A and B are shown apart, each in its own frame.
Chain A
């Protein structure tokens, strides 16, 4: 075979290679479009179950938003987060059942709001004993050795609220506190913080604490029945939210009304002051700490306190504009 013919054949071979390459590329590109939704799962996925007590409360939906906004970070680190909500808001029995199911499903991490109801706590202990990581959000359990707490420093929040109430009501006030279901330590801590703030002003007193006010009907029933005191403090978000839905201006039933988290009543004059928590920050911290745990095997700390803000009519516009 002459050199010229050999070179010619080599060129031909080169051309044929190019044609085959182009056909393969085209076919590959076509078939790549067919692999929609397929993902590699070489690394074992870390399963995380987040049990939220409320489905439509603006408070918990903001925590959920904080998690979902950072869900891609979790997915990048092979962390699968699933949300669970009881059919009835704040229903401890249903939440306990969900918790037990997660234990049976042997998930890796459970994120819950701390609750000292016996069955719930028992289930938490069972999970803890099985080696499931427990992260408490919003509400810590002082007597339970959870692995991580993310949320407000509730005693400090109560203290801040109390101090601001004193500033606004003066030296004397008879206070009714509307709380949620019994067994939530965060609410108790807030009340404790408030009482600490009132020690310097003996005439400012908490006269009564009313529980089980997690729905609007119950709250309004208690609101209307309460006649002896001049100041109302809604120690969790449901109270201020319900009042804002019922009234369009200040109601004379109480001289002063203060609350937590829901601020829409402030410009209407329905409530005078609200202490808000940074819920989205809580959700974000959950994801960040899960990633930290996934990559290092531990959390950055055993508790993360998020910020609170005292809002009145004076700073309402500035703070809400900044939030927007």
Chain B
């Protein structure tokens, strides 16, 4: 039944409708019962009255018959004899009604009355027949016989009178008991209807109150849910509502929406946390990498005593000058200068001017190696000489141009290094006219640089790029493009003045 109720009364409208239908049906039942009871009681009274009237009609008919017999006997009247069959028929007709009454309810007095009237008629038949014979031929029948038959009929008639009295008494008694019974029925029905209507009123009232309470509870529950969501959506709890109507659907929808929002919020928070942790890990990795490089360098520096090396190179240079090997002496001096720069400044930031000076030393050394095969141009604007820059940025890039660009050329190689400012940025540009690279190759190199993908090639450029990113906090831009012929590497840096200058 509970399941059925859930299925049937699944909307507020249906719940209200059910209450009103219940009241309507009860009212119909109430009115129907009242009508039935009234009809029944009226019918009982009507039946009782009709029965009494039928008996009275029979009584009148028997009296008429008796008068007719008296007229026939006393006055030897043919009219009386002629009317006798009709009178008798009337009595028999009314007798039939009382027989029907007996079939409905047996009353001994009525049964006796019916029988005695039959006897009366039977005796009367004989008397009337004999009177008729007497009138037609008085010699056939004696007067005494007729007198005896008449007395016999009158005896029966006197019993008929007694029986009518008995029947009337019985009927009045029965009527009285019927009236009492009907009164009792009326009282019982009235009591039943009063109790019924009270019960129905109470049931309907309780039902409607319960339903209104349900609706109010549902609205309050939904309201509290919405309020909690408004206050702190992350802490808002799902609402529980088992009203089996639209409110339950609304609550389910609210819970579903809340669930989705909270899940999305959690996901966003987790993503942010994950990004933060990833960033931290990346920084840590770079720090570790930087520390490792530093350690490697420290290790190398610990292995090489720079003063010993420089003194040795200076001594070799002095010796070669004594032996008039001027070029060798110059080459050794250049090498010593290059090494000193490298070893002294590897962990420091330097000015662009120092970096350019070191680049000149490096190119001078390379000129001894490559001779006339390449030339170079240094176009450094003086307004950016104080630019603070990590050590060893330009030299590896130029070395890259020599090795991969013009290293294969027999002659005519040109390397041009430019440095100039554009507003608050410093642009470094290294250009060669070497063999260059295809656009696909350039794109791959640039992608590897930006994604910091581990690769065995272009370690020098990647190293420079990562160091610049760390130093300038990602505010750099490195581009490579085919100069046709040759390759151009452009680095854009924020202008930062070196305090050493």
- Residue numbers of A with Cβ under 8 A of B are 8, 11-12, 15, 23, 27, 30-31, 33-34, 36-39, 41, 45, 47, 80, 82, 100-101, 104-107
Contact = CB atoms under 8 A, between A and B. Distances in A.
Interface in B66-115: 102-106, 108, 111-112, 115
Contacts of B103: 41
B28 to A, nearest CB: 10
B177 to A, nearest CB: 6
A269 B111 CA distance: 51
Contact of B40 (A15, A23, A31, A47): A31
B449 to A, nearest CB: 67
A91 B8 CA distance: 83
Interface in B38-73: 40-41, 44
Interface residues of B, number: 39
Contacts of B40: 31, 34
Contact of B111 (A8, A34, A45): A45
B36 A106 contact: no
B108 A47 contact: yes
Q: Is chain A's binding surface mostly helix, strand, loop or mixed?
A: mixed
Nearest to B180: A36
A11 to B, nearest CB: 6
Interface in B187-214: 188-189, 192
A38 B184 contact: no
Interface string B105-139: 11010011001101110000000000000000000
A37 B178 contact: yes
A255 B330 CA distance: 198
Contacts of B181: 34, 36-37
B112 A107 contact: yes
B182 to A, nearest CB: 8
Name the residue in B104, B111, B181, B192 with the highest tally of chain A Cβ atoms < 10 Å from its Cβ: B111
Contacts of B280: none
Contacts of A104: 115-116, 119-120, 155-156, 159
Interface of B: 4, 7-8, 29, 32-33, 36-37, 40-41, 44, 102-106, 108, 111-112, 115-116, 118-120, 155-156, 159, 162-163, 174, 177-178, 181-182, 184-185, 188-189, 192
Nearest to B43: A34
6 contacts: A8-B7, A27-B36, A36-B185, A100-B155, A101-B162, A104-B155
Contacts of B118: 106
A284 to B, nearest CB: 21
Contacts of A33: 184-185, 188
A105 B159 contact: yes
Contact of B192 (A30, A36, A100): A30
B111 A38 contact: no
Contact of A101 (B105, B116, B177, B185): B116
Nearest to A81: B108
A106 B122 CA distance: 12
A101 B158 CA distance: 9
Contacts of B112: 47, 82, 105, 107
A110 B107 CA distance: 18
A288 to B, nearest CB: 21
Contacts of B185: 33-34, 36
A31 B189 CA distance: 9
Given A11-B4, A105-B159, A31 B106 contact: no
Given A45-B106, A80-B106, A104-B155, A30 B37 contact: yes
Given A47-B112, A105-B112, A15 B4 contact: yes
Contacts of B33: 27, 30
